[in-house]
Amino acid sequence: MTSTPSWHVAGPPARDDLAEWTTATLDQGELGPIPPLAQPAPAGRTHLILGGGVHVRRQPGPAGAPPVWYVHGLGGSSTDWTRLSAALASRATGYSLDLPGSGRSDPPPGGRYSPQVDARVVAATIERVGDGPVHLVGNSYGGVVVTEVAAGWPHLVRTLTVLAPAVPDLRLTGDRGADPRLGMLLMPGTAGLAYQRLGSIAPTARARGMGELCFGRPEVVTEQDYALAAREHAWRARLPWVYESMIGNLRGLMSSYLRTGQRSFAAVAGRITVPTLVVWGTRDRLVDVRLSRRAAAAYPDAQLLVIAGCGHVPQMEEPETTARAMLAHWARTVTGSDFAPTEPDLAGAPSRSVPAAVGTSSS
């Protein structure tokens, strides 16, 4: 089979100067050891949720530690959270799930893909497996999903953290993150061409393409990282629903952008009652960092962390900085607990963390 290079997306320019938009603080306490991507992900098990199997990985924490749930983005999986969940393992018990049709989870019954459908699955999984209310975290597409969960099931959520949420971007600008040609996927008859295109990209090329697309500094990704990611892509490619789920979720996300009134993203975010932390990288090539202030303003009680030099997956590229901001964020809602920040620092110019592993989430 002839191999096709991965899609090239130029994306918006790097805006490291926008790190000054940060309003969040960083906890200075001790974190758990942060592993490389080659470190095996925590063990998991599959649960029957709303008629389908949902795979959930568990990162053990101290006895009595609060639960934190992680939701990945489009094309990603529960393994996207290995580094961040390890950093927070000294303070929380982590649960990362594979959304329906992703990772090791079954496709959704009836083949229905959308952030709203996935939100129902996430809420039902937390109710079945977790001990709510929980600290809820989502990246990109997962950021939209967890926003729906926090608005629709407020009793399950203690705090909300969204990393580069895939918010609607309807600006008429040529240097935006999302490729305007993706709108063609909403047209009937285009799915087959998209499946063919995705199937023509070799696993190694896909891994490298995702690293170059999702990282602000892709040069930190090692050959070992790419090899592990390629093996995962090759395994996923054998599943009969792999491309259907990716295109289905992308279509569902774009359809959600057309929602108006009380169903729009801004309206949903405006109904959230818990403190929210919004995290963004200044070199995000998929969701423009220039949207970060407006996105944070959509949530009634939000702080913003903008990380200089970081791309689309802060949990993988900057797990230390992200973890410290989350701990300080959690401390806002927990009085007199272990989460009280030690010598909090303004996070406007965070230090670089351990080099990152390959990001797999593209939206």
In total, the chain counts a number of residues equal to 363
Beta strands of the chain (E only): which ranges?
25-26, 44-49, 52-59, 67-71, 93-97, 134-139, 157-163, 276-281, 302-307, 345-346
pLDDT of residue 345: 52
Residue 212 lies in a domain: yes
pTM: 0.86
Please report whether residue 42 resides in a domain: yes
* Average pLDDT score over residue span 214-240: 88
Q: Which residues are within 8 A (CB) of 107 and not within 5 positions of it... i.e. 6 or more apart?
A: 52, 100, 101, 241, 244, 245
User: Is 357 part of any domain?
Assistant: no
* Alpha carbons 362 and 189: distance in angstroms, whole number: 23
- How far CA 187 is from CA of 191, 243, 254, 281, in Å, comes to 9, 17, 12, 32
Judge whether residue 127 has pLDDT over 60.
yes
Under 8 Å between Cβ of 158 and 355? no
Residue 341 tokens, joined:
């920040």
- Per-residue pLDDT at 235: 86
CA-nearest of 80, 76, 6, 78 to 44 is: 78
Identify the residue with better confidence: 218 or 198.
218
172 vs 264 pLDDT, higher one: 264
What pLDDT digit, counting tens, does each position of 60-118 carry? 999 999 999 999 999 899 999 999 999 999 999 999 999 999 999 999 988 899 999 99
Question: Considering the domain boundaries, does residue 358 fall inside one?
Answer: no
Which residue segment(s) compose the domain that 160 sits in? 16-346
Overall average pLDDT of the 256-273 stretch:
94
Smallest Cα–Cα separation from 97: which of 59, 61, 60? 59
Flag whether 234 is in a domain: yes
List Cβ neighbours of 112 (8 Å cut-off, separation of 6 or more). none
Report the pLDDT value the prediction gives residue 171, as an integer from 0 to 100. 58
Q: Which range (8-22, 199-213, 232-246) has the least confidence?
A: 199-213
282-311: b (≥16 Cβ within 10 Å) or e? bbbbbbbbbbbeebbebbeebbbbbbbbbb
Task: Give the Å distances, CA to CA, from 258 to 161, 190, 252, 263, 268.
Answer: 24, 19, 10, 9, 14
Return the minimum-mean-pLDDT range out of 124-133, 285-294, 344-353.
344-353
Position 317 in a domain: yes
- Tell me the helices (H) and strands (E) count for the chain, helix number first: 11, 10
Residue 194 has, within 13 A of its CA and on its CB side, a CA count of 21
Q: What is the CATH number of the domain that holds 315?
A: 3.40.50.1820
Q: How does residue 346 score in pLDDT terms, banded at 50, 70 and 90?
A: very low
pLDDT over 90 (residue 258): no
Q: Are 276 and 160 in contact (CB under 8 A)?
A: yes
Q: Write down the pLDDT at residue 251.
A: 87
pLDDT for 354: 30
Is residue 1 a part of any domain in this protein? no
Residue 183's pLDDT band (cuts 50, 70, 90): very low
In a domain, 299, yes or no: yes
The predicted structure's pLDDT at residue 114: 95
Whole-number pLDDT of residue 279: 98
Determine the pLDDT at residue 207.
84
Q: How many domains does the chain have?
A: 1
Rounded CA gap, 114 and 346, in Å? 37
Work out the angle at residue 276's Cα, subtended by the Cα atoms of residues 272 and 176, and round it to the nearest 5 degrees: 95
All residues at 6 or more sequence positions from 8 whose CB lies less than 8 Å from its CB, including other chains: 209
pLDDT at 200 over 80: no
Average pLDDT over the chain, rounded to whole?
Answer: 85
Is-cis flag, bond preceding 133, omega within 30?
Answer: yes
What percent of the chain shows pLDDT beyond 70?
Answer: 80
Check: CB of residue 148 under 8 Å from CB of residue 124: no
pLDDT in tens, 306-344: 999 999 999 999 999 999 999 999 998 864 343 444 444
At 232, the pLDDT band (50, 70, 90 cuts) reads confident
Report in angstroms the alpha-carbon separations of 136 from 228, 234, 357: 27, 30, 22
The pLDDT of residue 9 is 53
